[in-house]
Structure 1
Amino acid sequence: MFLYNIGIKLYYFAIWLASFFNAKANLWIKGRKQQNFGHFNGSIWFHFASLGEFEQGRPILEAMRERHPDKKTVITFFSPSGYEIRKNTPLADAVYYLPLDTPKNALHFIDHIKPDVAIFTKYEYWYHYFNELNRQDIPLYIISGIFRPGQVFFKWYGGLHRKILTFVTYFFLQDQQSKQLLDNIGLTNVTISGDTRFDRVWANVQQPKPVLLVNEFKNGQKIFIAGSTWPEDEKLLATLPALYPGWKFIFAPHEISAEKINKLMELLPKGSAIRYSELEDNSKFEIQNSKEDLLKTHNSPLKTLIIDNIGMLSSLYAYGDIAYIGGGFGVGIHNTLEAAAFGLPVIFGPNYLKFNEARELIALKAGFSIGNETQLKGITDTLITDEAFYNVTSKKILQYVQEHTGATQMIMAHISPLTP
C-alpha cells in the first residue's frame, strides 16, 4: 500500500511538471483544482477513463437513466480528452474530473455524491475509491471489462491489485479469456456479456447524424475515410488520392492542433485539400451551390477534406466506403467498430493485437492489417477494383457487428435485481 500511495503522488508530480509545457497536462491539473462537487442524495455514478470509454458505456448510461429517472447521474473522467468534450452532456446532472486516488479524496467525493451504485467501463481500477465503495456497501460494476495475461493482476507481485478486484460487486466481461483469468485467481462473480460498443455503434447506424457539408463534398462519389490518424499513418495515406482520381478522401486526425493540420496539408497536392472549418466558412451561400463556388477558389478539384474538429467522426462513416483506422503504428489502433457498423471494410496498422474485434475481423477477412505503403496500396487497390470482393467483405463486416449486439440488455438484466 505504501508503494501504491507513493506511486500515485509521483504520478501527480509528473503531470504537474508536464503541465508547464503540455496543454493536456495543464487541463488535467487545472480542471481538478477548480471543481466543486455538488451534494446528492443517492446518485448513479459512471466513471470513464476518456471519450472512447464514454461512448462504450453510453448504452448502459442511457438505459440506467431511463430505468431510474428519479436518480441523479454523476459522470467522472480521468482524461481531459473525455471531460472537455462531454462536460456539458445532457446525459448527466454533473460531470467532474476524478480526483487523485487518495483515501481523503475518495471519502470526500463519495460522501458528496452518495452513489447508490457505481459503474466503471472497461478498466481503471483505483484502490481507495474501490475500497471506500466497498466499505460503504455501495455496489460497484465493471462493464465491458477485458483482461490479458500480462497485466499486473496476474503477476506474482500483483497482490494489491488483485485485492482491488475483490472490491468489485460484479464483472461484465467481453470474452472467455478474461473470465478464465479471473477464475484462476478465485473471482467467479462474472458474466460474459460482450462489448457494449457494439450496441453503441449499432444505435448510431439506426439514427445517423446528417452532416450536410460532407454530403455535398461527397457529391455522389466514393469516399475513403481515414479516422483517428497519426502522422505515421498520414505519411502512408497521403499517397493514395493521386492513385484513385475517381475517389475522394476524408482525414479525421486524432490531434487537430494547427501545427498538426498544417503538416497534413503539406503532404497532399497543393490546392486539392480543404479544412472542414474552411468549408463551413464557404457555406454562407446555399448548400446546393457550395461545391461550385468552392471549386472557383481552388486551383485543382477538391479531393480531400480534413476534419479539424472533435466529435464528428462517428457520423462521417455513414458517407464512406472504405475506412482506415489510425493508431496502429503507435500505441494501438482506435475504434474500428464505428466504421464497421456501416459496413465499411477497415484497414489498420500492425499494432492491433490487444483488440478482440480487430483480430476477429482479420480472421473473417473483413479487416486488414498493413505494415507499409506497399501493403496499404495493395489492399486498397483490391477493395476499389474488385467489386465482388468488396461486396462480400462489406456484408461480412456488417453481419459481424449485428451478431455481437445485445450486451446492454444482458447487463441491465443482471444489474436490475442487484441495484438497490
Structure 2
Amino acid sequence: MPSLQSVISCQSDYDPTALPVTQANAIIADVIEPVRGIEQLPIRSALSRVLANDVISSIDVPAHDNSAMDGYAFAGAMLNQGDGDVVLEVSGTAYAGNAFDGEAKAGQAVRIMTGAVMPAGCDTVIPQEFVEIQAGGNQVRFRPDAVRAGDNRRRQGEDLARGQAALRAGRILTPADLGLMASLGVVEVKVRRRLRVAFFSTGDELRSIGETLDPGCVYDSNRYTLHGMLQRLNVELIDMGVVRDDPEIMEAAFRTACEVADAVITSGGVSVGDADYTKQIMARLGDVSFWKIAMRPGRPMAFGRIASGGHEAVLFGLPGNPVAVMVTFYNFVRGALHRLMGADVAPLPRIRVRSATPIRKRPGRTEYQRGIVAPGPDGELEVRVTGEQGSGVLRSMSEANGFIVLDHDQTSVAAGDLVSVMLFDGLV
C-alpha cells in the first residue's frame, strides 16, 4: 500500500486544519487497498459477502426460446394472410417442463403455458384472453391486430448468454444474486474473507452499561452505535470496550487491536484539548495524520495505519460526540471499509426535496443537519430539521430519517429551496 505521507505530499492544496470532505475521502481511497484473503463458500452462506471473481454463465438463460405467458403459439406470418380474423387449428399443448412433441404447420397453433419451450414452427404467442375458442377447443379465432409477430416469446440466451458475466467481482451479494447463481447451477462461489474490525471508546468519564454512574460520568453510547453500523457491513466485530486515559493501557489497546484486526476504530481522543498521549501513541505506532475536516458535526479525525507485532491495520480516530461519530462513520469509514473488503459500492444516494424552513449555512464547510422527510400540505415531499443540532444530541438522530447535506460552498437555504437529503432507510 502507498504510505499516507506520500499520498498527502501529492496534494498541492493540502491543509490538515481545514480539509474538505471530498479531499479527505480522496486521500483515504488512495491509501487503502483490499484485503487479499479469499475463501470458497456454498452460495447459501455467501449472502452479503464480497464476490472475489466474476461469475460466468455456463449456460444460456433461458436455455430455449419459450413463452412469456399462457396462450397459443403459432407462426407470426399467419397474421398477414388476409383482412379478416385469424382462425387456427389447435394441434396440441406445450407445458413448462414438457415440450410439445411435433411441429405447428401453417394454419395451426399450439396451446402453450408460461415458460414452455416454443414448439417448432412457432415464433409468436397470442395471450389466451385475446382469443375466442371454437369447435370444442380445437380451434381459436382472434383479430390480427391483437398481437405482432414475435410477441410474447423469450429468446434463448436473452437474459444471459453462455460465457457472459452474470455477476462482477466486487459485488456485495444479495438474495437475488444467490437465486441468479442457483439458476446457473453454481454450487459454490469465491468471496473475499470477512474484515476484522476492532473498536473501542476512550475516556475516564465513560462507563459501560450496568456500571454505576459516578458524578461527571456518562454511559458509553458510541460503542453500541458503532456496533450497529458495523453489523450492517457484515464484518467480524471485536469490541474492546472502554479504554481509560492511561498511556500504558492505551498503547496496549492499540497494539492488541492492530494485531487482531484489519481496521481499528476509536471514538474520542482526537479533539483539541484531548490528552496529548493519545495522539502521540497513534503517531508512534504508525503513519497517521490528524485532521480538522471542514464539516459539521465531526471536525476532528485521525486517519492512517498503525503496526505492531508484525501486523498492520488501518486506523480511524473518530470524534467523541455521538452524532459526530455517526456522521464521520458514514462519510469516511463506511466507504473505506467497503474498499478494504474489495467491494465496488457507489456513494450513498441522495434525493432532492424542498426545505420546509430556512436553514442557516455559511460556505467553507459541509454540514449534515438531521432532518425528517415527510409529505407537506400539498402532498409533495419536504424536509425539516429535527431541532437542536448539537453533536451530542443523539436523540435527534433517533428522531430523524435522513441527513440534510449542505455542501462545502453552499450558503443559507430559504424555505421552499431544494436541498439534498441522504436517507437513513437501510443505513442507520
TM-score (ref. length: structure 1): 0.23
Which of the pair is proportionally richer in helix?
1
Rg larger in structure: 2
The structure that is strand-richer by fraction is 2
TM-score computed with the length of structure 2 as normaliser:
0.23
Greater length-normalized contact order (CA 8 Å, ≥ 6 residues apart): 2
